[in-house]
Structures are given as structure tokens and as C-alpha cells.
Structure 1
Amino acid sequence: MSRSLITRASSKDIRRTLLLANLMFLSACSGAPSKMLAAPVTGYNHTSAAINWFSVNGAGGGNVGPHQGGGSQVCCGVVPRYWTPGLRAIVEWEKDPDPYSSKMWPEQSYSDAWTKRMEAKKRQYTRYKVTVEIPRYNEPGSLSVHFLPYNEVRVSATGITPGYPGYPYNFPMNMPEPKVCPD
């Protein structure tokens, strides 16, 4: 990784950290506990497509490869300190249905011909936006987004980690994808 990329990423992280520290300082001065809390954003992709990018209520998430997730978190979304009925999240994402196709191309990587083919491939990406319910939680935690077959999405905001009892969505990472979309 080049030094300029590391420096840019580091300065961006420093700015985010300072902003969060200032927000926490200001909320501490008010004497009342904050109604909203910062929450890392994590993605879990249970499909064979790649999620190129996603966001939850405008808070960015990274890219998530096919049948992957949970390893990286992006800071920060926000969640209410206390769950309320009707709590929802807006999730937006871009999907690459054939993430490994460029490995099979005969063109030299990043050549003019390869770049032209990649531009055509990018036109096949699809974008989505849905509003989903966030299930009840007792202790707030990460905003965890689960991408399921047929563009279904689930979001959790609990402090419980996927795979543990009490987590609302313990889906297998490699979910079978039916040939026909269920109604």
C-alpha cells in the first residue's frame, strides 16, 4: 500500500475519531445520557454476489465478498440507546452478480481493452434501497446488515454477536439460492 493512501486513510480516521470524541464530550457536559449511540456498521453477505458497497441510514459500510462478512467494521452509524417499536433502517447497496468474471478475461489487467470491458461489466451492477425493521434489543451494539438471496436484507442493532444465542439472525453464510424467486 502506498504511503499516500495510508496517510489519507489515517487522517480520515483521525478526523472521525476527533468528531466522535467531541460529540461524546458535548453530550457528557449536558448531564443527561445521550438518546443515540455511535455504532459500528458490519456486513454479512450470505449470497454468491459481491456487495460492492452498502450503507445503513447513510452510514457507509465497506464491500463484502460472496459468503463473507463480519470481519471489518466501519464507523459509525447511530442507534437509539433504547429500542422502540417500529424502529427501522434504510439500507442501500450495490451488487456485482458475477464478482470473479474478470479473472477469466484474456485481456491484460488494466489495459485499455480490459478497462473497456470493466466499464461494460460495471453497467451490469445493480443498486437497491429498502427499509427494514430492526428487531428488539436490550443492549445496543453494532449495526449488522445481512444480505440474503433475492435482495432480502435484515438489520440487527443488538450487542449480541452473530452465532450466539439471542442473536436474531443466525443464517448460514452460504445460503442456498433457489432457481426461482419465491413470492
Structure 2
Amino acid sequence: MRYLKSSPPALLLFTALLSGCDLPAAPVPESWSGGDLRGVNHTRYPIPRFSVNGSPGPNIGAFGEGGGACCISLPEKWRPGLKADVEWVVNTHAGLVKFPGYVDREKYKAWEKNYTDGLVKHRTTVDIPDYGNEKCGLTVHFLPCNQIKVTASCWGSNRPEHPVKEPRRMEEPAVCPE
């Protein structure tokens, strides 16, 4: 068996280098948890589907609210730059033609075409506001002019403490702001 011989000066240099080196601390992994994904629709157009950061949310009727869709993941501690990428579909033809049922195939096909023609897809990215030490999932508020607000507040949308103050029933203005 062969042993490598180190010279005393080389060993001293190596030891000096190691003792003077502060290795960077390993990054602490961010802790995440899941919560319900809810939606509040402040408009007259139904939202048949939406998602946030790829997590699907519930179907929400006109001026309605839906939730309990599991799950949206958020960091345990809020940090600057936290975003919600929201994708949603609005049905602009809902209620224009009453669902005829499936018996009369022609009427059903006409209804289906009208329904499909009225689907409009949207996507935006918004900041998730600071939720401090307490979060209760994520609630997406769909406002007129395809505006979105999100909150992780534990207060229900009908409570005065809830951070989104817009009324539940809002009409689309004649011209939306740019």
C-alpha cells in the first residue's frame, strides 16, 4: 500500500485555506401549504372555468361565488414578488338562448354553437398581496373590464374586514379603462 507524503508547508497552507473559508449556509427550503381556491364573480357573465398557477377553480355563475376547490399552494410566509397567473373563460352568450334539452337535436346543436361562440378566454398575472402570518387559501375576484384582484384573507367576501371592497353586482362600463 502506498501513502502520499505531504510536505509540512503544503499541509499548513491547506489548513490555513480551510480555516479562513466560510462556506455559504445551505438555503432553507421555502415551506408551502395548500388551501382552497375560491372565486367571486362581480359581473353578469358566468365563468365556466378558471385556474390560478395551473390549479383549477370552480365554475362561478353571474354575480356568484364558488369555492372549496382543492387546492392552491402558497408559501407559509409571504414574500415580495409572489404572483398569481390567472386564466379564465367568460361566457358572454349565457342566458341569451335557453337550454333546450337533448331531445330535439337541431335545437341542441344551435344552443351548443351559441354557447361555444360566446366563450372568451382571458389571462393575466397579478401580485398576491401580503397575507402576513395568516392565510386561508386564495380568493380570485372577477371584476368588470376583465380586471382581477386576489386575496388570501381569511375573512369572507361579505365581511367588512375583507380587503376587496367592490360590490358583488357590478355592471360593465360603456368603455373600459386602458
Report the identity percentage: 36
CA distance in structure 1 between the partners assigned to 2:50 and 2:60 by the alignment: 9
What one-letter code is carried by the residue in structure 1 that aligns with 2:118?
A: Q
2:94–2:118: 8 Å Cα contact kept in structure 1?
A: no
SS at match of 1:65: coil
Match of 2:47 among 27, 47, 51: 51
TM-fit CA distance, 1:85: 0.9
TM-score, with structure 2 as normaliser:
0.76
RMSD: 2.0
Asked if 1:112 corresponds to 2:95, the answer is no
How far is 1:170 from its partner? Answer: 2.0
Structure 2 spans left out of the alignment, 5+ residues? 1-27
Q: Distance in 2 between matches of 1:57 and 1:47?
A: 22
Q: Counterpart of 1:51 in 2: which secondary structure?
A: coil
* TM-score, L = length of structure 1: 0.74
* Structure 1 moving runs of 4+ over 6 Å: none
Matched pairs, number: 148
Q: Higher helix fraction: Structure 1 or Structure 2? A: 1
Cα deviation, residue 163, structure 1: 3.5
Q: How far apart, in 2, do the equivalents of 1:61 and 1:155 lie? A: 13
Say whether 1:171 aligns with 2:166.
yes
Structure 1: 5+ residue runs without aligned partners? 1-31
Aligned 1:9-158 pairs, distance under 5 A: 35-70=31-66, 72-103=67-98, 108-110=100-102, 111-121=104-114, 122-138=116-132, 139-158=134-153
Give 1:142 shift: 1.9
SS in 2 for 1:93: strand
Would the aligned equivalents of 1:79 and 1:157 in 2 still touch at CA under 8 Å?
no
Q: Which has the higher strand share?
A: 1
Q: Which amino acid aligns with 2:83?
A: R
Shift of 1:112: 1.2
